[in-house]
Structure 1
Amino acid sequence: MEIEQLSQQHALEIANDWHYETPYDFYDMENDLEDYEEIVSQEARGDRYYQVLREGKLYGFFCLEQKGERTLELGLGMKPEHCGKGQGASFLQEILDFIIANFAPQVLRLSVADFNHRAQQLYLNMGFEVVRRIPQESNGDIHLFVEMEKKV
């Protein structure tokens, strides 16, 4: 796998062409205007978004945000056609290896929708622990999210 800055072409593909099956369509970019506007704008994305390529093709993406001195918040997405096929662990491990090698955070944090047990199980398996459940605004409504952290 190759990891590099997210290109504008791939940002538009993620924003406009990635459609997940119900209930995961919650993660379709067009369902959250704020997320959509951020990913399609090179200026808004800054250098925080990365693309994950496999054999030169877009496989997934992630974004990083500094939270405090040694904590990085991770957001990630896998191309819909690869979801639910047992590929999450290798995908996430590649991303974790990249982050640790390049940013050396002490703590990695992520938030996952409460209904998304598939992702939560993956994160638990990969050493993340549940910190708290919090309501957050998303997709024009309030939804429950599970905040998880991993000590690096």
Structure 2
Amino acid sequence: MVYQFKLISHEAVERIISWNYDGVYSFYNMDEDLEDLKEFREDAVSNENYWSVYQRDHLIGFFSFHEHEDNHIEIGLGMCPDNVGKGEGFSFLEAGLQKAVELYHPTSFGMAVAEFNKRAIKVYQRAGFQITHLFMQQTNGGEFQFVEMKKISFKTIIAKY
């Protein structure tokens, strides 16, 4: 798949905010947590750490990259609900990792994902992420269990994106 990365625009932020996921995945709807919504709306535009991802001029997702000590990159990401569950997650993630390698030359990657999201965890593990620990986090009006994952090896990152 060919992905195009662009620094996220105000228009892309507004489109991402309007995405609605079904069922248990509605947890990821931006309006489920007004604090996260406000933060995304205020922080993403004109921020070199937030990237929108396009496929044939169609916005299909976004990545955020946050650099920590020892050149560790924390990743946030989201895919358009129309693209979720269609087998595109792995190539989407690999393209995002490659973009981060180009931008930051990291020593490792980290991310957190809701524990119930087994589908995403499986994709992340396939890409070489390992579960480092579980933790509870306040979000969406409650407390939920999350999985922290880390990737040190870059063997699976293919420089074709």
Q: SS in structure 2 opposite 1:12?
A: helix
Distance 1:102 1:48 in 2: 10
> What letter matches 1:91 in structure 2?
F
Cα displacement string for residues 27-63 of structure 1 (whole angstroms, at most 9, x for unaligned residues):
001111122112222xx23322110011111010011
Q: SS in structure 2 opposite 1:18?
A: coil
Structure 1 segments, 4+ long, off by >4 Å, are none
Unpaired segments ≥5 residues, structure 1: none
CA RMSD of aligned residues (A): 1.0
Match for residue 93 of structure 2? 92
> What letter matches 1:100 in structure 2?
V
Q: SS in structure 1 opposite 2:26?
A: helix
Distance 1:130 1:77 in 2: 19
Cα displacement string for residues 100-135 of structure 1 (whole angstroms, at most 9, x for unaligned residues):
111111110000000000000000000000000000
**1:8 correspondence with 2:6:** no
Counting aligned pairs with the same residue, the percent is 34
**TM-score (ref. length: structure 1):** 0.94
Cα displacement string for residues 51-110 of structure 1 (whole angstroms, at most 9, x for unaligned residues):
001111101001111222311110000000100010101111111111111111111000
Unpaired segments ≥5 residues, structure 2: 155-161
Q: SS in structure 2 opposite 1:80?
A: coil
> What letter matches 2:25 in structure 1?
Y
Distance 2:49 2:140 in 1: 21
* Matched pairs, number: 149
Distance 2:137 2:67 in 1: 19
Q: SS in structure 2 opposite 1:81?
A: coil
Distance 2:49 2:91 in 1: 21
Match for residue 32 of structure 1? 33
**TM-score (ref. length: structure 2):** 0.89
Distance 2:26 2:58 in 1: 22
Match for residue 61 of structure 2? 60
Distance 2:125 2:49 in 1: 25
Match for residue 124 of structure 1? 125
